[in-house]
Amino acid sequence: MKKQNLTLIALLLILAGLFASCKPESKSEETHTPNISVCGVEDPLTDLPWLKDIITELESYVNQGYPVSYRIYQCTYKDGIGFLLDNLELIYDKAIPLINCEGKLLCELYGFNGNPCTEFEIDLENKVLIWELIPKL
């Protein structure tokens, strides 16, 4: 009986060691750039010049010492694919721009004057985080 218990304990320890050695997927890998091409490009972060320019500008602010924090989400709306640029500052009347693949501002979500984006039928439930900038303090 004791030999069976020792065998069972040894087996459980081996299994526990295997589970402990497994690395969980990082959240950033799950939430960043989906493995599909959008807007006619493979990687919108580098292949859409207007989006690449926004990212470069935001990163330059941080390099200059300004603590800006942003997230860029990819989403769908009634006419196609769009991008939401969310400034993470806690501002009562902040607006989150919805920009189409061509870089045209379509509307701004949650602005001081309400939500003028309802006509675009944005699918906020399935938005995907594709980039974030959160400087280390």
Q: What DSSP state is assigned to residue 124?
A: G
Distances (CA, A) of 38 to 10, 25, 128, 130: 51, 24, 12, 12
Domain range list for the chain:
30-133
Please list the pLDDT of the chain residue by residue as tens digits (137 residues). Answer: 455 444 444 433 333 333 333 333 333 333 454 546 799 999 999 999 999 999 999 999 999 998 889 999 999 999 899 999 999 887 777 889 999 999 999 998 875 556 668 889 999 899 999 999 998 76
Dmax over CA atoms of the chain, in Å, equals 75
- Residues 71 and 55: their CA atoms lie apart, in Å, by 10
